[in-house]
Amino acid sequence: MSAALEATPVADGVWTAAAGDYCSIFASAGEEVVAVNGFGSPALAGAYAEAIRATVPGSRIVAVIASIDHLDHSAQASELAGAGELVAHELCARVLESRGQRPTRLLAEDAELELAGHRFSLLYRGPSQGTGNLAVHLPEQRLLFLLGPRADARYGLFPDMHFRHLTRVWRELAELEVDAVVPGRGPTMDVDGLRRAADYVDALAEASQRAFADGLPIWVIEAMAPYAQEALQDRFGDLDGFDRHVGIGAIRLVHYYLMGGWGLEDTARPELLLRD
Amino acid sequence: MIDPNSCHRGIFSIDGPLPGYAFPTTVSYTPLGERLWTATDGIYRTVFAEGDEGVVAFDTFWSPAAAGSYRTAIDRLLPRRELHTVVYSHEHLDHCGFAEDLAPEASTILAHEEAAAVIAARGSDGQVVPTETWGGERKGFEIDGVAFELINPGATHGAGNVAAHFPEAGVLFMVDTVIPGVGYTFFPDWHLDSYLPNMRRLESLEWDTFVPGHFWPLDRQSFGDNLAYYERISEAASEALAEGVDPDDFPAIDAWAKERLRAEHGRLFRFDEYIGMNVMRYMAHHRTGGWGLEDAGGVVEGSL
């Protein structure tokens, strides 16, 4: 059975590719294509390649940017890249290599790359979600692709998000001159949407701390969900998925404060991760 | 009494008082051996040992007030003894965040170097940076006549999380790994790729009693049963994904998990509170492939 995947133009020479809630982008000039990630299964990766070929007939993938290490986005990045380049942040590459993938160009800091006739600015502003998560900026198309933020509240467990730096990273990226922010999951937004995503997480962080200060049993969903709903309803109750997700999100966040964060990513010195 | 306005605040960033950190708990203690004790407030648990001259305490409890209660318990049992050494089991604040409240006079704060790196970079209010670190997998210590071995079996939970082995008492102490009942909430900072194989390495050691960081001590059978539970929840999470349960939708996962797993595990301590969160975390793990570098090749091969 073939997986369904939809390609939609989002800027000059750039398309989004969406499979359900998951999203990526690819860019083309002539027959050369640069794709981001590669989705999580061989079937979806195949559908992604097919969608690229259908959109850009006779195309050849010259590079894949693995923007994150998570399997549901980049499990097939190496296969999709084929003989082309596989670009990743050095930290992301460590995880990819542990799974048998073969990144060919490693970045340790922000980089400007000319690929397939397009200028890509690959930005790493610190830990946000996953390991070595790169923001993919196409300045000429005024477009940003970023995994982590959402236009809705459907964050679930905030998987592998690093709260020490998360919203700072998002707010810094919201200062870029872009018209569209394509998140790795959910609907496309603009920079105001990205700022609102940061506002939501910050508000949830404050509410979860207040819950602890107020003596709630912070490990109990029946206590945390109504508390967080009441605290955030007025500002964020319109976000899709708010009611079903805010409680588990509050439990996740309060444990960040209770435990002190998870690993070096959640400290003031995440650059120590780059040490051998 | 600790003032909730001026107490150490860990990494809490909100303004105003933190009564949750100032609420004094009641810490009780029970002997584990000739000079080894376990202390608990009913939820958190740790161990401390009587030295020839002073006291060696493991961890600090979860808040400034709880650290004070821990100290009160030690002083009641071993009055007028210097608490000269604090050993950190790992780096999380809810177990090791308040040495400034437990023992401001302690001259030695001991931790594994992986934990110490996080503590130093974190800069949490009330957490003391270790004065002495060690690396590798195993190291024996004798401090003030208290003999123990610290063991880092590999990535399990947190950073530099080590077990403390007291061979004479037949005790193994390790925090936030095996805990009675189902797993805690969403397995926060558990490294699920390597957790089981690395924890099972500890079964090769000689011990009769496992003292966890929460609730009550366990025997070897219960330790093994607890690890088997993780295997089952990992499988259940795969089943939930295969059946199309939305891995981000907690209410849906919780309902699925309670319906599917109650007959098998419904009698476990805190089943209703956490079974949904346990399954949700494993679903996220399977979907994303693990969280961070700890989950990338963290399994340690070979025996201890």
Per-residue pLDDT of chain B (304 residues; tens, 9 = 90+): 899 999 999 999 999 999 999 998 999 999 999 999 999 999 999 999 999 999 999 999 999 999 999 999 999 999 999 999 999 999 999 999 999 999 999 999 999 999 999 999 999 999 999 999 999 999 999 999 999 999 999 999 999 999 999 999 999 999 999 999 999 999 999 999 999 999 999 999 999 999 999 999 999 999 999 999 999 999 999 999 999 999 999 999 999 999 999 999 999 999 999 999 999 999 999 999 988 888 887 889 888 8
Share of chain A above pLDDT 70, in %: 99
Tell me, what's the pLDDT at A172? 98
* Contact at CB, A160 and B291, closer than 8 angstroms: yes
Condensed to tens digits (0 to 9), the pLDDT of residues B231-285 reads 999 999 999 999 999 999 999 999 999 999 999 999 999 999 999 999 999 999 9
How far apart are the CA of A58 and the nearest CA of chain B, in angstroms?
Answer: 33
* Contact at CB, A99 and B287, closer than 8 angstroms: no
In degrees and rounded to multiples of 5, residue B297 shows phi and psi of 75, 35
Q: A155, A224, A262, A271: best mutation site toward chain B, by most B Cβ within 10 Å?
A: A262
pTM of the full structure: 0.96
Of B261, B47, B186, the C-alpha closest to A219 is B186
How far apart are the CA of A68 and the nearest CA of chain B, in angstroms?
Answer: 10
User: Amino acid letter at B260?
Assistant: R
Give me the residue from A70, A205, A264 closest to B289, CB to CB: A70
In degrees and rounded to multiples of 5, residue B204 shows phi and psi of -80, -10
In degrees and rounded to multiples of 5, residue A6 shows phi and psi of -115, 130
* Contact at CB, B287 and A244, closer than 8 angstroms: no
* Contact at CB, A155 and B13, closer than 8 angstroms: no
User: Beta-carbon neighbour count of residue A28 at 10 Å?
Assistant: 22
Q: List CB contacts (< 8 A) between B281 and chain A.
A: 157
Condensed to tens digits (0 to 9), the pLDDT of residues A236-265 reads 999 999 999 999 999 999 999 999 999 999
Nearest residue of chain A to residue B117 (CA atoms): A264
Give me the residue from B11, B19, B277 closest to A257, CB to CB: B11
Give me the residue from A99, A252, A266 closest to B186, CB to CB: A252
Residues A125 and A271 sit within 8 Å (Cβ to Cβ): no
Give me the residue from B10, B20, B284 closest to A159, CB to CB: B284
Condensed to tens digits (0 to 9), the pLDDT of residues A85-121 reads 999 999 999 999 999 999 999 999 999 999 999 999 9
Q: Is B293 on the interface with A (CB under 8 A)?
A: yes
* Contact at CB, A219 and B117, closer than 8 angstroms: no
First to last CA, chain B: 45
Residues A261 and A161 sit within 8 Å (Cβ to Cβ): no
* Contact at CB, A219 and B248, closer than 8 angstroms: no
How far apart are the CA of A25 and the nearest CA of chain B, in angstroms?
Answer: 19
* Contact at CB, B294 and A248, closer than 8 angstroms: no
In degrees and rounded to multiples of 5, residue B36 shows phi and psi of -115, 135
Give me the residue from B19, B93, B296 closest to A258, CB to CB: B93
* Tokens encoding A117: 């006739």
* Contact at CB, A268 and B123, closer than 8 angstroms: yes
Query: How many whole angstroms separate alpha carbon B173 and alpha carbon B69?
Result: 20
Q: Is B123 on the interface with A (CB under 8 A)?
A: yes
Give me the residue from B118, B122, B296 closest to A98, CB to CB: B296
* Contact at CB, B248 and A209, closer than 8 angstroms: no
CB pairs under 8 A between A and B: 154
Nearest residue of chain A to residue B94 (CA atoms): A259
* Contact at CB, A259 and B12, closer than 8 angstroms: no
The predicted model gives A27-35 an average pLDDT of: 95
Give me the residue from A214, A252, A263 closest to B118, CB to CB: A263
ipTM over 0.95: yes
Tell me, what's the pLDDT at A1? 42
Q: List CB contacts (< 8 A) between A98 and chain B.
A: 296-297
How far apart are the CA of B242 and the nearest CA of chain A, in angstroms?
Answer: 13
Lowest mean pLDDT among A104-108, A206-210, A271-275, B206-210: A271-275
Q: List CB contacts (< 8 A) between B127 and chain A.
A: 260
* Contact at CB, A245 and B250, closer than 8 angstroms: yes
Give me the residue from B12, B23, B117 closest to A264, CB to CB: B117
Q: Is B244 on the interface with A (CB under 8 A)?
A: no
The DSSP string of chain A is -PPP-EEEEEETTEEEEEETTEEEEEEEETTEEEEE---SSHHHHHHHHHHHHHHSTT-EEEEEEE----HHHHTTHHHHHTTSEEEEEHHHHHHHHHTT---SEEESS-EEEEETTEEEEEE--S-SBSSS--EEEEGGGTEEEESS--SSS--TT-TTB-TTTHHHHHHHHTTS--SEEEESBS--B-HHHHHHHHHHHHHHHHHHHHHHHTT--TT-HHHHHHHHHHHHHHHHTTSTTHHHHHHHHHHHHHHHHHHT-SSGGGSS-GGGGG--
Give me the residue from B10, B16, B288 closest to A160, CB to CB: B288
Q: List CB contacts (< 8 A) between A205 and chain B.
A: 13
Task: Give A172's strand partners.
Answer: none
Residues 48..77 of B with a Cβ closer than 8 Å to A: which? 62
Tell me, what's the pLDDT at B43? 96
The DSSP string of A72-99 is HHHTTHHHHHTTSEEEEEHHHHHHHHHT
User: Amino acid letter at B163?
Assistant: A
